Each structure stands twice: as structure tokens, then as C-alpha cells.
Amino acid sequence: MMNWRRHFIEAATLIVAAVLCAAVSNAIAGRERKMLWSGTYPNAMTVPAPATATPSSGGQAPTPVPAPVVAAPVTTTTTTTPTQTGEAPILHGTTTTTTTTAPPKHAESQQLFPPHPDKPYIEIQYDAVKQLYDKGVLFLDARRTSVYEQGHIAGARPFSVWESDIDEKVNKLFEERGDPKQQAEPIVIYCSGGDCEDSHMLAQKLWGIQYNNVYVYKDGFPDWQKHGAPIHTGSAP
């Protein structure tokens, strides 16, 4: 009887010591290693659908790509917008001779990729991703920062869902783009493709704070590399 009591006290002491070590280790950990004691993972107990037999890099998964809506030309009497960088407006099926002004790039991308408030994200493939990239929309890299620094889509910001500063980054983004109009602008999130879910988790987080036009690049960074699209290394976007 006495033995069991001692046994229990020893086991409890080991566990308490382990928790203390964990607390100290986490307190002194760097930004990349540090974690919040309680995370928010909405689908933590939901088993994902069985993976299809696609290889982790490059396979074309049959995911819905939003049907591009043809941008209607804006016909006004004004001349040019100062932010325009010389790209001619896309005019389809019109013979109007009035002076036309191209909508700002973001507005244009919003017409092509309209908000979808009913779902947190839409999975898209390279062609749609590149189209959005060319329009200059915001790209977020959901992979670990150490991986991001080894190479990322040029211009993408590091937003690892597993690191302690994720909420801080999301809040900062909200401060930058808190206006409902800005929240409806497309955002592309990616991770490593294959069965990587970090981008989906980040999309869920953004959807939770009213970002309703988020796209997940299904095949992720390996696919971007495969297509030879622009890449940056280092900690700067």
C-alpha cells in the first residue's frame, strides 16, 4: 500500500517536473520554436477524406477552379488612373469608342475571382494562381518560417500556422485590410502541396475574421517551382 503511494508520488513528480521544463523551454524559445499553450485548430478531430493516389508533388487534383468571369469594360469619360502601370484594359466583345479606364488591378481580380462568403476557401490550380499573382494580389505562405526562408513565392509573406506569432500576424493583416472592401480582395495561401493542410488551416482562420475571398493553391510551392515561376529566398518577401 505504502509502495503504491510512493510510486504515485514519484510519477506525479516526474510529470510536474516535465511540465515545468516544458514551460521554461517554451519561455526561452525563439520565435520559430515558441508555441501558445492552447492552439485553435477547428478540424482537429475531423478525419480528412482518404487521399487520392496523387503523388505529393505535381499531380493535378480534380479540384474546383472558380469559373473566371469575363471582366466587363468600364466605360467612363475620365482618362487614366495614376496607379495604373501601363496595362491596357481588357475589352471583350465591345466596339465602344469612348475612352475606357481599366479598373484597378485589385478590383479587376475581384471581378475575376468574386468573394465567396459561404465557404472559407476555394482550391485553385497553377493557372488561376498565376493569374492572381500577375494581378498583384496578396500571397501568404503557411509553411514554417525556416522553410519559407529557403525559398518562397516572390512577394509572399510568411504566415506559419504552427508558430506562436500567427495571431499577431493575422491581427496585423486585419489592421492593414480591415475595411470590408479590402476583406473581399482575393488572397492566395499556399503550403507544400500534396496532403499539406496548413494553407487550409490559415484560410479557416482568415475566414473567421471575415476574409471571404481566400484561395488555396492546391499543389503549393513545389508546383510553383515546377512551373519556373518567380521565387525569392531569405526572410524578406
Partner 1 sequence: MTHPWLTIRVQIALGIFFVAAALPKIADPPSFAHMVYNYRIVPGALINFMALTMPWIELLSGLALILGIWKGAARTIIAAMLLVFITAITVNLMRNNVIDCGCFDVSAANKTHEERLADMHWVVIRDLGMLLMCAQGWWASRRTATP
Positions touching partner 1 (CB under 8 A) are 3, 7-8, 10-11, 13-15, 17-19, 21-23, 25-26, 29, 32-33, 35-48, 50-51, 53, 55-56, 144, 160, 162-163, 192, 196, 198
Closest to partner 1 by CB, 166 vs 184, is: 166
Compute the least distance from the CB of residue 22 to partner 1, in Å: 4
Closest to partner 1 by CB, 33 vs 172, is: 33
Compute the least distance from the CB of residue 129 to partner 1, in Å: 22
In the 8-state DSSP scheme, what is residue 135? T
Name residues whose C-beta falls within 8 Å of residue 90's C-beta, 6 or more positions apart in sequence.
71, 73, 102, 108
8 A C-beta contact, residue 139 and residue 155: yes
Burial annotation 14-46 (CB, 10 A radius, 16+ → b, else e): eeeeeeeeeeeeeeeeeeeeeeeeeeeeeeeee
Closest to partner 1 by CB, 15 vs 72, is: 15
Closest to partner 1 by CB, 113 vs 207, is: 207
